[in-house]
Amino acid sequence: MKKEKQPAKTRLDRFISQRININKRDVRLILAQQRIIVDGVIANNIQQIIHPFTSVIFDGEPLQNSQACYLMLNKPTDVVSATSDLQHKTVIDLLSHPLKDSLHITGRLDLNSSGLLLLTNDSSWSRKLMLPDQKVAKVYRVTTEKPMNNEYIEAFRDGMYFSYENITTKPVNLKILGEHTAELSLTEGRYHQIKRMFGRFRNPVLKIHRLSIGSIRLDPQLAPGESRSLNEDEINCL
């Protein structure tokens, strides 16, 4: 049978037509013969919408039976946020999940940054999570070389102009926890944004650890390099 790449969602008649290489008009007859089962139910509507993780069976043979996968990982430092790399260990290398080769990364972290990383094979979910319009806040704990003071709080809140991109950063909520430690929340992800913002004070950043993305918080039970599946509330966080 012919197998072609399907869009994010499509009508049942188009899906069947492409998968078994028949005319769309002939799908009506196949449905009348009750030869198609969608998510465990005999299909009877050619306009039914088929998503990437909809189960579709034709004459007892699966045409599509992919499972959605959503993982959180406590990324260690010195591990690259990529699916493959010739020089460094990747976050995929840390996983033992059977679907790991189908996953992509949602919200990357730099090589020397650690903390919450999300991985999924559901591109629609990850795209929504990262859309600027969603204004999903990401919270980081930062350790700096030099002490911080209240001037940092005001500067981060007011935004900083980056001449290279010709943009002013959106307000960042900075909470100083100690002389060298702070938590900050931002809704955008400019190139090396955190390091560049502290760079305005000539204060090198020593550590960046991500605590949360939106309402999804890093599980404190996960040691560096460990992962777990997201629960239903986390998956439906949007």
Q: Tokens for 108?
A: 């990357």
Pairing of strands 114-120, 205-213: parallel
φ, ψ for residue 155 (rounded to 5)?
Answer: -65, -40
Alpha carbon dihedral 140, 145, 151, 153, in 10-degree steps, equals 10
pLDDT at 53: 87
Q: For 12-19, what is the mean pLDDT?
A: 92
Hey, which residues are catalytic here?
A: 110
Among the listed residues 101, 174, 226, 96, the one whose alpha carbon sits nearest the alpha carbon of residue 218: 226
- pLDDT of residue 5 exceeding 60: no
Count other C-beta atoms under 10 Å from residue 42's C-beta: 11
Count other C-beta atoms under 10 Å from residue 18's C-beta: 17
Domain with CATH 3.30.2350.10 in the chain: 70-235
| Contact by Cβ (8 Å): 208, 183 | no
pLDDT at 131: 81
Q: Please give the Cα distance from 53 to 67 (Å, whole number).
A: 6
- pLDDT of residue 218 exceeding 90: yes
Domain with CATH 3.10.290.10 in the chain: 10-64
pLDDT at 7: 55
- pLDDT of residue 87 exceeding 90: no
In this structure, which CATH number among 3.10.180.10, 3.40.50.300, 3.40.1190.20, 3.30.2350.10 belongs to the domain 70-235? 3.30.2350.10
- pLDDT of residue 3 exceeding 90: no
Q: For 173-190, what is the mean pLDDT?
A: 94
Over the chain, what is the mean pLDDT?
A: 91
CATH code: domain 10-64 is: 3.10.290.10
